[in-house]
Structure 1
Amino acid sequence: MQEGRAGAERRGVTARVAFALVALHLLLCAALFDPKIHTGGDSVTYMLLAESLLRAGDGYSTQIAPGPPEVHTKYPPGYPALLAPMVAAFGRNFVALKLLSVLLTAASTALFVVYARSGRTRASWLLLALAFAVCPGVIDYSRWMLSEAAFLLVTLLALWQLERDRPDARLGPAFWMALLASVATFYVRSIGALLLAATSLAYLTRREWRKFMVHGVVGAGLTIPWIVRSRVHAGTTSSYLEEFLLANIYAPEAGRLGVWGMTERFATNAWVYATRELPRALAGSDSTWATSLPVAVVAVAVALLALLGLVYALRHRPGAPAYYLTLSCASIFLFQTSVADVRYLVVLMPLVLLYAADGAAVAAKFAGAWRGWLEPRLPALVAGALAVLALGAHAARIPENLDMIAAYRAGDRYAGYHPAVASFFEASEWVGENTPRDASVTVRKPRLFHALTGRRALIYPFSTDRGKVLESVRRTDYVLVDALYQTTRVYLLPALRQDEGYFELIYATDADPTNFVLRVRNAATAPAP
């Protein structure tokens, strides 16, 4: 009877804490919301794929480049499937579509409150839950139409169910829920395969043979269809695997890396993530605090504590969370340094916070006479310090963000954008209003440009072979020369200058830096589908 009352009281406390922290999370999401379209291509690609799912017989494809529709194989359909009902209801209303991410991070906050409670003191649990609820990296990705929020939620669901799964031979509801959630992570982002691998490894090391076999067979059976589809249509199981070995995806002619090159990349990326990207996750991706030395020092300390906690877990209680974090960090440290970004850390922040707290408890064991006092308190102090850092960073940037929202509501569509981005948008809008609907355009950001204009778009080759670049450009009717990327200056402009007679300047933006629109004379346009 007493155990029943204690359990009910515990659940009641957990529910009240979850409710309060979700409310706080939503308040911060509202204060830091960005109503504008994300300038990356991934965001609009998810929207286009959601539209594809809504069209009968479309076959999960995109129609961005000149020519027939292209079967899409890079992004699995999980997030577009979640987005599709919103697209059906609101069309291309980006503000409305972003609300899905807000709901997903709010649900993740509630789930973290439940997941983090096991095995921790009440103070440590409460402050860890607070640190996650106000985590700037997570809140930043609540305002973008990207897969991070969905991936975060299904990952937490899988980890929570794995924690509930008893270490015996019985295949109970928690086992099946964890398996299905892990498969869902794969269909949201391909790197979710690492969670499936980590769970299989955990069953293997614990000698839970039945679970190992069932998890492996069912997990493989549910993921193979997407892998086979990708192989059939793209010739590879994942385009990311091809990109791993390239020295630089923005300079393919630099070739591939060997063992020593990959080792150097691992070390470089580990430092980049600890000193540049983790500060952005702890203080905000666009916060000036993230570039300050004190926050960098805090981030390095958090990284070291998380590493200590992870190593301790791998030695004393290895399980799927520890294996998953290890595999994920190895993966992002071996990937392209040129695309290292906080987004890859955001989905790992629940485990980073938990292992940092565990690492603090391990570190306290070496505190000598202070051990007895520090060991139960240091995890809470670390979590509390991170929560204070996050709230301080939010307080510093909320006023500016509210000014941006006010300017946007007053009619400034480019409020808060970098001038180079605003100039690109201005040029894109001009193309959308002043060119034929069946026109095609060479542009550095074809997916974003296509979503803005409805025109077919093609990116130029990243090649110093000017003839190759010109051949590609002449397949389109227009060229938008942007001021966003170095690649435009390195690859596109030299080719255009080599044969200026092929091109006619028809528009230049008023905004600085100037973007140019050129008409391609005698374009060899690909036939329409």
Structure 2
Amino acid sequence: MKTTSPPPAQPAGRSVLIYLYLTLLALIGWFVFQYVFDKKLSLTGDATDYYILGKAIAQGDGYVGILGPEKVPANHFPPGYPFVIAVIMKLFSDKTTTIQAFNGFFLIASVLMLFDLFRRMGRNIQLAFAGALLVLLNFYILQYSSMMMSEMTYFFISLLALWLFARADISKAPWKDPYFWGFAVCVVFSYYVRQTGLMILAGAGLYLLFRKKWLHIVFMGVIFFLGILPWQIRAAKLGGDSHVRDMQMINPLRPEEGVVQGFGGWVDRFWHNTERYITREIPSGVLSTNIDDYTLPVSSGEWMAGLLLLVVTAFGWYHLRQFRLLIAGYAAATFALLLIYPEVWTGNRLMLHLVPFLVFCGLYGLWYGIGLALQKAGVTSPAVRNVAIPLAFLLLIPGMIGQAATETRPGSGIKYLRQIARVPGYDPAHENYFQAAAWIRENAPKNSMVICRKPSLFVVFSDSYVSNYRFTENQKEFLDYLRQRKTAFVVIDALGYASTPRYLIPVVQANPDKFEIVLQLQNPDTYLVRFRDEFGWHGEYDAKGMPKGKGEYRFMDGRKLVGTFSDARMISLTGTGTMYDVKGNSLGNVTFVNGQQGR
């Protein structure tokens, strides 16, 4: 960042080297992106949610959900990435592969900016090139570069903000500097992509604070406040920020577990997240390694490796030539937020934007430490210290290329991403899920309401109305929701989500006659059922929403059982009643015990 005057012009040879490295990074980036590019939709995260929201913007409906007949204003996801998707749809195509392909531009542009940032931070062109190339080949960054998710857009826009900040001249009034203007606007847009964009202000604010640039701090604060104000007003009108509510829950996917209780609950969460990030998330993100099993207890070896990595990274950060406070503030603010997130939000995707700086600080620490050792050994050649050692870090590349997976070994690195990309279809559970969606598209009445897990994924293939089921064990509330949504079909999937056997399947087992099978697929078992509310239990429920008491169970064949039951779920039906045939004639009293008819 300029303070008084621009830096002197680069020597001709140095400028040529800079352009050579930029060209190499761009060419390698384009080749690698094409090599690992996966045309399939991402089955993790919220890819199709973004797609549907972007489609709504592109077709002029506004920022609303269009999964059902009502167009509900969207409030869960910030609108930045859906807006990017809408622009791509309007200017190019609404194909998911087109949207995914634009990540290649974001990836390459980000790496080129990183090279310039690293060059300014460490004042070493070769080390900047090595760091940028290792970031480019990082497993997780390449993995998310193929996904239709917000990671790569935020990765790009946050780096653009930092790059503009690094080029700004803080000796000028902030409103007279186009780079500082660009920085402030990019911070606002980064917030609209992901709310961790706020943390960029922490890094920039810390940097400016130590330089007593009060006007710049006030200026960027005002721009940020005015920029996000419309979204905050809109969110307040729609019931507040859903992310804040999610953060307070023990598990947002299982709301019945409640919220974090008391100061001790937050301390426990902070400690568990700290342990996970030190021992697993940061090492895997920086070193491009896989985490085998989060359920296994953290070993002492993981603690030692994680702490050693942090020491090397901190050592490198301490010796950076420029922007230490910028990086420190950005990282500290980000982790202050991540460490109070729900513990179930595992993975390093939430810290992906910090991975490049952790990688470079780690490299810088190694480079600086090796330089000190060589100096003590009497090796003082600038060529060795400034050229040979940085380029020697390129020997790490074979490890990042990795290997394809086999029956006896796990996959890793670029070769594994390539292997995944070349698989033509999805896993059997999703193939069945998409076959059910295709059946709806081809056979169901137009705009039929389908209740399913991951509705935004289902709708891409079904072209129907869709909705998730209620995450409740209260069966009365569950069925009332199906009626409220005017449900026509329900998908019983085998995707592996715990919510399906926890919430959906018990309702089907309690009322099998309410759910008529229209499509059954095997390996694994997947069912598309028609919701027939006229059948099944019609009667009283207990305080927990379970069928119990007086009422009647209506069978699909026309019979009905009328009586009083201590448990009116068909799978465990217990009680005595009178059975009637299809014409209403009494067939006598019958007694059921735990779902079995007595003699």
Scaled by the length of structure 1, what TM-score is found? 0.85
Amino acid at match of 1:256: V
Match of 1:52 among 39, 56, 72: 56
Which residue in 2 is equivalent to 1:505?
Answer: 517
1:78-97 map, 5 Å: 78-88=80-90, 91-97=93-99
State the distance in 1 between where 2:98 and 2:16 align. Answer: 33
1:167-246 map, 5 Å: 167-168=170-171, 170-171=173-174, 172-232=177-237, 234-236=238-240, 238-246=241-249
Query: Does structure 2 conserve the Cα–Cα contact (< 8 Å) formed by 1:504 and 1:518?
Result: yes
Query: Does structure 1 conserve the Cα–Cα contact (< 8 Å) formed by 2:139 and 2:413?
Result: no
State the distance in 1 between where 2:205 and 2:527 align. Answer: 53
Match of 2:17 among 13, 17, 22: 13
Match of 2:359 among 353, 360, 369: 353
State the distance in 2 between where 1:381 and 1:268 align. Answer: 38
1:361-380 map, 5 Å: 380=390
State the distance in 2 between where 1:215 and 1:83 align. Answer: 27
Which residue in 2 is equivalent to 1:391?
Answer: 401
Alpha-carbon offset, residue 143 of structure 1: 0.8
Query: Does structure 2 conserve the Cα–Cα contact (< 8 Å) formed by 1:53 and 1:81?
Result: yes
Which residue in 2 is equivalent to 1:515?
Answer: 526
State the distance in 1 between where 2:160 and 2:362 align. Answer: 21
Alpha-carbon offset, residue 521 of structure 1: 0.8
State the distance in 1 between where 2:530 and 2:126 align. Answer: 65
Amino acid at match of 2:519: Y
Query: Does structure 1 conserve the Cα–Cα contact (< 8 Å) formed by 2:399 and 2:413?
Result: no
Which residue in 2 is equivalent to 1:432?
Answer: 441
State the distance in 2 between where 1:216 and 1:477 align. Answer: 50
Query: Does structure 1 conserve the Cα–Cα contact (< 8 Å) formed by 2:188 and 2:197?
Result: yes
State the distance in 1 between where 2:430 and 2:365 align. Answer: 42
Which residue in 2 is equivalent to 1:491?
Answer: 503
CA displacement, residues 44-93 of structure 1 (integer Å, 9 cap, x when unaligned) = 2222222222223x2211211x4410111222332222222332355442
Distance 1:382-1:103 versus aligned 2 partners, 3 A rule: same
Query: Does structure 1 conserve the Cα–Cα contact (< 8 Å) formed by 2:283 and 2:309?
Result: no
Which residue in 2 is equivalent to 1:305?
Answer: 312
* Structure 2 unaligned spans of 5+: 1-6, 405-410, 536-599
Give the stretch that moved more between structures: 83-92 or 429-438. Answer: 83-92
Is 1:480 the counterpart of 2:491 in the alignment? yes
State the distance in 2 between where 1:372 and 1:256 align. Answer: 60
Distance 1:350-1:516 versus aligned 2 partners, 3 A rule: same
State the distance in 2 between where 1:404 and 1:244 align. Answer: 33
Which residue in 2 is equivalent to 1:329?
Answer: 335
Is 1:164 the counterpart of 2:171 in the alignment? no
Amino acid at match of 2:236: R
Query: Does structure 1 conserve the Cα–Cα contact (< 8 Å) formed by 2:199 and 2:334?
Result: yes
Distance 1:403-1:156 versus aligned 2 partners, 3 A rule: closer
Provide the secondary structure at the position in 1 that maps to 2:39: coil
Query: Does structure 2 conserve the Cα–Cα contact (< 8 Å) formed by 1:289 and 1:393?
Result: no
Aligned length: 507
Provide the secondary structure at the position in 2 that maps to 1:505: strand
Give the stretch that moved more between structures: 267-276 or 430-439. Answer: 267-276
1:402-441 map, 5 Å: 408=424, 414=425, 417-441=426-450
Larger helix proportion, structure 1 or 2?
1
Distance 1:399-1:384 versus aligned 2 partners, 3 A rule: closer
Which residue in 1 is equivalent to 2:154?
Answer: 151
Which residue in 2 is equivalent to 1:454?
Answer: 463
Distance 1:280-1:88 versus aligned 2 partners, 3 A rule: farther
CA displacement, residues 94-119 of structure 1 (integer Å, 9 cap, x when unaligned) = 22221111111111111111111123
Which residue in 1 is equivalent to 2:102?
Answer: 100
Distance 1:35-1:335 versus aligned 2 partners, 3 A rule: same
State the distance in 2 between where 1:520 and 1:388 align. Answer: 55
Q: Which has the larger radius of gyration?
A: 2
State the distance in 1 between where 2:402 and 2:304 align. Answer: 16
Which residue in 2 is equivalent to 1:111?
Answer: 113
* Structure 1 unaligned spans of 5+: 409-413, 525-529
Give the stretch that moved more between structures: 135-144 or 466-475. Answer: 466-475
Distance 1:384-1:368 versus aligned 2 partners, 3 A rule: closer
Alpha-carbon offset, residue 422 of structure 1: 2.3
State the distance in 2 between where 1:388 and 1:345 align. Answer: 24
State the distance in 2 between where 1:240 and 1:48 align. Answer: 19
Query: Does structure 2 conserve the Cα–Cα contact (< 8 Å) formed by 1:307 and 1:355?
Result: yes
CA displacement, residues 434-480 of structure 1 (integer Å, 9 cap, x when unaligned) = 21122111111111112221221121222222222222233321110
CA displacement, residues 267-316 of structure 1 (integer Å, 9 cap, x when unaligned) = 3223333444445535668898999x999986664444335555x489x9
Give the stretch that moved more between structures: 222-231 or 84-93. Answer: 84-93
State the distance in 1 between where 2:155 and 2:400 align. Answer: 19
Alpha-carbon offset, residue 369 of structure 1: 8.2
Larger strand proportion, structure 1 or 2?
2
Amino acid at match of 2:399: L
Distance 1:284-1:473 versus aligned 2 partners, 3 A rule: farther
Provide the secondary structure at the position in 2 that maps to 1:223: helix
Distance 1:404-1:357 versus aligned 2 partners, 3 A rule: closer
Alpha-carbon offset, residue 225 of structure 1: 1.3
Amino acid at match of 1:149: M
Provide the secondary structure at the position in 1 that maps to 2:339: helix
Query: Does structure 2 conserve the Cα–Cα contact (< 8 Å) formed by 1:128 and 1:354?
Result: yes
State the distance in 1 between where 2:195 and 2:446 align. Answer: 35
Provide the secondary structure at the position in 2 that maps to 1:339: coil
State the distance in 2 between where 1:463 and 1:218 align. Answer: 43
Scaled by the length of structure 2, what TM-score is found? 0.76
